[in-house]
Structure 1
């Protein structure tokens, strides 16, 4: 992909590591960001030994100052990112909200929502100045529907989907494209630690996520900017075959009860297509 540059958060392990390796194999220079410098060094070595280009920086994405320093370091090494993947995240205990641990709840909000905000704020300003860029937030099916546990995780993933819509509306005319991708249940340390997935064997291959992100990086799915994509149902091929979605399809919102619901005729900001 020529001189394309990507920045991937949470790149030291799990889905983030797989995304970084796949982008590097596709010819993208990759900036790696997480809190674990030792693990990032190993991922960087794996990329460079395969002939790719990578740089790394450590930061707690919940800390705006650390993120600013890390983004400055990575852009100095690689250039302005053409693609940002907000992947860093945590999950809280599988309990209802009245049993939630306050400190843990705050930590999940910091990593998932504030983390996405801090990194997006730093990187998208550079993209706007360059007149182009794409951003992917790794979200979850749990953020697109109601769930009875992990209230911090579901709330932050829903908020990330809304941020994707915000970037689409605010940045489309400035050359930005944004996407929310739910990766299904990938076999990672986080997913296998959950009671919900105890004994599970039918995990979603991570390649379905990396293939979709690679297609986004190549500009093949720009018609789907601002939309929610779920890799258990969507592939680059099916999305291209469908063509540009219309209206509020795959947008995050509240459904009216029918045509007689006042919400159905309420004046809303029309979505960009």
Structure 2
């Protein structure tokens, strides 16, 4: 297990993929701050990780969609642990019901989009300036294959993850020339309370091991996949050795319109 240094901030840290990431990064030597809305559950999770790994942890209750809450949370992390070296935007909701767009509840639909896109934006807006000042940092947004294609029954989640992919690319373009990088990481289908609650995954058995997600993000934190900045990688499918040895070209693993043929004027 490679050793890491510095401070990681993981949102949605009290359960699921976020909880796995907190423990995996802590076990590799990082001080880890966890952010989530449920203060009691978050504190319990972070205390358990500290006891299991001996790492420094910090529980910071915050709503990632609230600007003041995010700014206060990041300020507390910086004061208690130091500047953030790795930001993982993991928090986010899922569509409550598997229904087509016109049957979705408007408020819940928008809450899903906001939790991912506004949440990711606010964390980047608050954390990245400090990374730029230090010329050091990595940003990971937990994404999904649903962001790369239309999904009838999970339209809000699909729209949100597409938005995150655009945010990552825009962030990367703005960071050109610096040693701050941004990535989209799709975890695959990890066995979590969220996926268990989705009818789409009923009777599913080919789960992605959470260790594969941790390993991929640890490689990003270590600077081993910098050539993939601004692009989409997938835990459990992408081979880490291949990623390390491959430099993607053109718009590979980025969102683009596919041309209809050689005569397409937009190609």
TM-score range, shorter chain: over 0.9
Match of 2:141 in 1: 137
Matches within 5 A, 1:254-269: 254-264=257-267
Match of 1:159 in 2: 163
2:4–2:28 Cα contact (<8 Å) kept: no
How far apart are residue 3 of structure 1 and its match?
A: 4.1
Could you state the TM-score of these two structures normalised by the residue count of structure 2? 0.95
Pair 1:168 & 2:168 matched:
no
- Using the alignment, how far apart are the partners of 1:66 and 1:73 within structure 2? 11
Match of 1:76 in 2: 79
- Using the alignment, how far apart are the partners of 2:229 and 2:79 within structure 1? 28
How far apart are residue 132 of structure 1 and its match?
A: 1.6
1:112–1:156 Cα contact (<8 Å) kept: yes
Deviations 1:153-188, CA, capped at 9 Å, x for gaps: 000000101111111100132322111011111111
How far apart are residue 254 of structure 1 and its match?
A: 1.1
SS in 2 for 1:173: coil
Pair 1:41 & 2:43 matched:
yes
Q: How many residues align?
A: 263
Match of 2:32 in 1: 30
Select the residue among 49, 52, 55 that pairs with 2:55. Answer: 52
Matches within 5 A, 1:185-264: 185-241=189-245, 243-264=246-267
Q: Which runs of 4+ in 1 moved over 6 A?
A: none
Match of 1:268 in 2: none
Deviations 1:37-91, CA, capped at 9 Å, x for gaps: 1122122212322211111211111111101001100111111111100000111
- Using the alignment, how far apart are the partners of 2:211 and 2:236 within structure 1? 11
Provide structure 1 residue ranges, at least 5 long, that are not aligned to the other structure: 265-273
Select the residue among 97, 112, 116 that pairs with 2:116. Answer: 112
- Using the alignment, how far apart are the partners of 1:133 and 1:235 within structure 2? 23
Match of 2:13 in 1: 11
1:212–1:235 Cα contact (<8 Å) kept: no
Deviations 1:16-46, CA, capped at 9 Å, x for gaps: 0101110000101111101111122122212
Match of 1:150 in 2: 154
Deviations 1:93-115, CA, capped at 9 Å, x for gaps: 21110001011112112211111
Deviations 1:221-251, CA, capped at 9 Å, x for gaps: 111111111113213222113x111111111
How far apart are residue 2 of structure 1 and its match?
A: 5.9
SS in 2 for 1:30: strand
Provide structure 2 residue ranges, at least 5 long, that are not aligned to the other structure: none
- Using the alignment, how far apart are the partners of 2:149 and 2:234 within structure 1? 13
